[in-house]
Amino acid sequence: MTKRVAITGSSGLIGGALRRTLVERGDAVVRVVRRPPTASDEVQWDPSTGSLDPDALDGVDVVVNLAGVGIGDKRWDAAYKREVERSRTDATGTVAQALAAHLDRTGRRIALVNASAVGYYGDRGDEVLTEDSNPGSDFLSGVVVRWEAAADPARAAGLPVAVMRTGLVMARKGGAFEPLLRLARLGLGGPLGSGREWWPWITLVDEVRAIVHAIDHPELTGPVNLVAPGEARQKEIARAIGAALSRPAFLPAPQFALRVVVGEFADSIVASQRIRPARLLESGFAFEHPDLETAIRWLAAR
């Protein structure tokens, strides 16, 4: 059965790929945009003021909220850290309130699939983490806790809410791995930090497939880890990328050097998070790229 899916952040890496996938399979996609609409499949919103007309969601089955500035787009300073949080909590709160208001007016239940991040867990060393694990204590953990809580108006209304705690997304262009690929092609793709940190990764292909899985399974609610089951340390990922590109990968980038370039975000880059996609696997999802070998082969392919 085809669905009508509204997407915020549809111009981003994940949102654009999701939109194409949904259209290809025959779903109707509504783009929620900040500018004045220029097409019949667009509706306008302004999360900074909490503005999203509930009537604009008539006929929508699921809202996928992917809005938020990129956490690695700029060097972290106090102002950008505020923007990282505000852009997420404002967007999520706006969508959740609009869904609750729509339900109150029409009696129709619209599911919410909301972006989140593995930053929730913080730096946890070798501890095995699932959706039931407690949050960390660093800045990004706090951001994610408040980001997820911003969906409470939809939860309180009894609507299905899934929060997709996404790991580092491997993509051939864009995303967290693009700088690593550029460095690797220059022979500078060595480990970051000590290299022993566990990096929770997922390919863009599986990221989109997992979101579609959540769209098709509204019973899948609460936190869902979007990470591949093939656990890998950062040095293993660096070596695999180097091998796939026939480039060396042995010179480490020390954490203090990363801090000079990206600020406090360096602490998140070298955080160790050994995360398992427990709820995703329990729901019957099958990864196309479950292990590092298949993922890197896909990532490095032309």
Rounded to whole angstroms, the Cα distance separating 199 from 92 reads 26
At residue 77 the predicted structure's pLDDT band, cuts being 50, 70 and 90, is confident
What is the model's pLDDT at position 273? 96
Rounded to whole angstroms, the Cα distance separating 142 from 275 reads 18
Q: How many CB atoms lie within 10 A of CB 301?
A: 8
Rounded to whole angstroms, the Cα distance separating 7 from 17 reads 11
Rounded to whole angstroms, the Cα distance separating 154 from 26 reads 27
Structural domain count, the chain: 1
3-state secondary structure of 166: strand
pTM for the model stands at: 0.92
At residue 189 the predicted structure's pLDDT band, cuts being 50, 70 and 90, is low
Rounded to whole angstroms, the Cα distance separating 59 from 158 reads 18
At residue 220 the predicted structure's pLDDT band, cuts being 50, 70 and 90, is very high
Range(s) of the domain holding residue 236: 4-300
CATH of the domain at 148: 3.40.50.720
pLDDT, tens digit, 9 for 90 and up, residues 233-253: 988 888 887 777 776 655 565
**Of 154, 7, 21, which Cα lies nearest the Cα of 67?**
7
pLDDT, tens digit, 9 for 90 and up, residues 132-147: 999 999 999 999 999 9
